[in-house]
Structure 1
């Protein structure tokens, strides 16, 4: 196996110069860099990125901290971050931490000593807890905002408001919003935006919840939502929508109604036959990693607060 010393000898430079050329090419004269790269290619030498990182005081690893692995919303975010990190020559480690108690905070602090940066998904953690985190490395929040912190989120509130306007234009005047988990930052943003939109459209908006965004909870609350007398319901997440649809369709079939033609059917937004809000999770992960990579490289710019658009799909 060829070594860095073999590359240096063939290129006619010192071992330290060869190392610098392969790790920090901007610090080496173009002619020297060309000789070192040519020698490495001729010998089939592949630099050890981990060793290079340790030499610069880095691990080559970033952490993606998630509150749970049960929420499918996080899957494309993870994929987007991993793909971007791989392109940059870094590895992503997944860490499950809801940040709900002192031990969780202690685990987070230990993690921050073992990685180059952290992508933090903490949608339900209290602001004061997040503000108290003493991260030793750069950190970017995903899908929530907090003053003084870098973040990437989705403007789902505006999409939900757009959805409401369209439903009102289609004849719905009494609408329910089935809210997500307690303390959810996105849930609070949506409620504020939808309430303002309902007032401007002269529509009645029922705020229900909070509820966990699960199929089981959608199934459990479906009948109570029907009893509110609304004509359409906008759930916080698609799993809630699917659970409600299954329960309502089952109830109608048991009652001998045709769920496709029943005039008093409660419409559930987010199920494939109804409009839905689409979020590009891959883009969220890629964008968040881009901000983190910039910080790891030493950027001292003011924290960026990015809101990516969500799309309303009318079926």
Structure 2
């Protein structure tokens, strides 16, 4: 406003600049809705104690007036902040964009505020982040958590936790069906005559990475393929050159990367070295991230339902934060979401 008045002094002096609209209060909402202020308060902080029709009427009036409850006051009254945190290992990894999208959608439907934290692929930093945010949120969705089980148990004693792409005893989790998915990958390679492949492993702390390798190794034994694991590699394109060079020292005719980002880095390095894909080497990734079909050649990859995983995790966390919710125990639910192999041009018949 000060800048406007400097440029338009006459308008300011004559009152032509409109005053800011007064913020709606709980009292004004109650008057407009014809209910008590306590009813408005409960409609937001404890909806189970308000008739459904009344609550919808109050929320509609509040939206029309532009009212939203003071989060600090609401937290003091209810003991809840109506805020949940989503923590990811690497915010630049496109895999997590789907999780964020689904989590945000579910949070909005539950009238929760979602905050996002970046653990920087570091289990120590992740645990400190969870501890630091603990008092400010009602719970956490930890995606592909790098923390060991003991650290997750410590964190769950202080706040509600739901896991995505990770499972741990006593904690609710949403995971991909890696057993079926890795079987699809190996069956695809076997059908093209491949007799061996290299798996480029991701971070040593990656729960999903361990499950991917276990599934690939078991499926390879079933199909009579030789499977070798290299790594660990940081799951970034920058790790692609070293990973690709290592594969080229073997006689493997196919490579399966920990994730699509690493696989794209491998494709770039193979192109630099004049290795034709898939004629000389087939390349497969995990996740089906945005851009997997833009690289050259388009990447064959195992698609996961990341958006659904984010949404289901927040829904589970919202249920845990409701008054009277029963804490999870040893029988905490694990939701397994289907996976599907998306076949593109980066994989094909083994060279003869």
TM-score w.r.t. length of structure 1: 0.84
| 2:253 maps to 1:231 | yes
1:19 Cα deviation from its structure 2 partner: 3.6
Question: Equivalent residue for 2:301?
Answer: 276
Structure 1 segment 196-215 matched on structure 2, within 5 A: 196-215=218-237
Counterpart contact for 1:226–1:266, Cα < 8 Å: no
Q: 1:8 to 1:185 in 2, by over 3 A?
A: closer
Gaps of at least 5 residues in structure 1 are 254-258
- 144-153 or 104-113, which moves further after superposition? 104-113
Q: 1:39 to 1:142 in 2, by over 3 A?
A: closer
- 135-144 or 105-114, which moves further after superposition? 105-114
State the SS of the aligned residue for 2:90.
coil
Choose which of 76, 88, 93 in structure 2 pairs with 1:66.
Answer: 88
Question: Equivalent residue for 1:44?
Answer: 65
State the SS of the aligned residue for 2:114.
strand
Structure 1 segment 31-180 matched on structure 2, within 5 A: 33=54, 37=58, 40=61, 44=65, 46-48=67-69, 50=71, 51-97=73-119, 100-101=123-124, 105-180=127-202
State the SS of the aligned residue for 1:113.
helix
State the SS of the aligned residue for 2:136.
coil
Q: 1:173 to 1:96 in 2, by over 3 A?
A: same
Choose which of 293, 304, 310 in structure 1 pairs with 2:318.
Answer: 293
Counterpart contact for 1:22–1:37, Cα < 8 Å: no
Q: Give the Cα–Cα distance (whole angstroms) in 1 for the partners of residues 215 and 64 of structure 2.
A: 61
Q: How many residues align?
A: 306
Q: Give the Cα–Cα distance (whole angstroms) in 2 for the partners of residues 39 and 12 of structure 1.
A: 13
1:239-267 deviation per Cα after TM superposition (whole angstroms, max 9, x unaligned): 221122222222127xxxxx379x6x112
Counterpart contact for 2:84–2:113, Cα < 8 Å: yes
Q: Give the Cα–Cα distance (whole angstroms) in 2 for the partners of residues 244 and 237 of structure 1.
A: 11
1:81 Cα deviation from its structure 2 partner: 0.8
Q: 1:218 to 1:157 in 2, by over 3 A?
A: farther
Q: 1:26 to 1:305 in 2, by over 3 A?
A: closer
Q: 1:49 to 1:156 in 2, by over 3 A?
A: farther
Q: Give the Cα–Cα distance (whole angstroms) in 2 for the partners of residues 13 and 260 of structure 1.
A: 69
TM-score w.r.t. length of structure 2: 0.76
Question: Equivalent residue for 1:256?
Answer: none
Q: Give the Cα–Cα distance (whole angstroms) in 2 for the partners of residues 195 and 38 of structure 1.
A: 54
Q: Give the Cα–Cα distance (whole angstroms) in 2 for the partners of residues 201 and 149 of structure 1.
A: 35
Counterpart contact for 2:200–2:243, Cα < 8 Å: no
1:158 Cα deviation from its structure 2 partner: 2.4
Q: 1:140 to 1:55 in 2, by over 3 A?
A: same
1:156 Cα deviation from its structure 2 partner: 3.0
Q: Give the Cα–Cα distance (whole angstroms) in 1 for the partners of residues 129 and 144 of structure 2.
A: 14
1:294 Cα deviation from its structure 2 partner: 0.4
Counterpart contact for 1:156–1:310, Cα < 8 Å: yes
Q: Give the Cα–Cα distance (whole angstroms) in 1 for the partners of residues 305 and 64 of structure 2.
A: 43
1:18 Cα deviation from its structure 2 partner: 4.7
Choose which of 259, 262, 267 in structure 1 pairs with 2:282.
Answer: 267
Q: Give the Cα–Cα distance (whole angstroms) in 2 for the partners of residues 220 and 149 of structure 1.
A: 37
